[in-house]
A and B are shown apart, each in its own frame.
Chain A
Amino acid sequence: NAGVTQTPKFQVLKTGQSMTLQCAQDMNHEYMSWYRQDPGMGLRLIHYSVGAGITDQGEVPNGYNVSRSTTEDFPLRLLSAAPSQTSVYFCASGSVLYGYTFGSGTRLTVV
């Protein structure tokens, strides 16, 4: 039981490049979400999903896309990276009933 696995752990992108942050969970959770963490601002919700085929926007969705084709995976796509997207990204899965488990994060730098 690996919990929530995020890859890669570190990434440097040039402005305008695209990439996908991967998130996988093996706990059969219906709910998955992506947060970004910036100094002094806590964790802000980007996108979330309540099940396969269902996604919705969070607080800061602009510049990010998601899809949920399976219960296990919830990738986050940056179509055209900008310096403002430099941040640490966390994926989480779980529920109000059982609590939420976070991955170890992806540290992204856009230059």
Chain B
Amino acid sequence: GENVEQHPSTLSVQEGDSAVIKCTYSDSASNYFPWYKQELGKGPQLIIDIRSNVGEKKDQRIAVTLNKTAKHFSLHITETQPEDSAVYFCAASTGTASKLTFGTGTRLQVTL
């Protein structure tokens, strides 16, 4: 089955700096790659996703890049703010199965 690895497990940045979280996947058939943000005591919330026919996608301060050849994808957050502090999860899915396999999460802390 699919295996998703996520790095780093913790990340501390100063407010205004950029943050990058990287994930690799094992199943070359995977074609959907979402990113979730989880705040303390809440469920994961979808923040951005990308499909295998696209190399990059942006939404304001958030961007995701996908390298299908290398089987890795990354989340980029620019101009970080204290409210960006949370745990971020990457995931991968093969479209027909509709099952999401998650990475182990990255705890992002944005310091003032």
Contacts and interface: CB of A to CB of B under 8 A. Distances in A.
Contact of A48 (B89, B95, B99, B102): B99
Interface stretch (B37-45, B55-63, B65-73, B78-86): B37-45
Given A42-B105, A43-B89, A59-B1, A100 B43 contact: no
Interface of B: 1, 6, 9, 31-32, 34, 36, 42-46, 49, 51, 89, 93, 95, 98-105
Interface of A: 4, 31, 33, 35, 40-45, 48, 50, 58-59, 90, 92, 95-96, 99-105
24 contacts: A4-B43, A31-B98, A35-B102, A42-B6, A42-B102, A42-B103, A42-B105, A43-B102, A44-B102, A45-B101, A48-B99, A58-B99, A59-B1, A90-B43, A90-B44, A96-B31, A96-B93, A99-B34, A99-B49, A100-B46, A102-B43, A103-B43, A104-B43, A105-B42
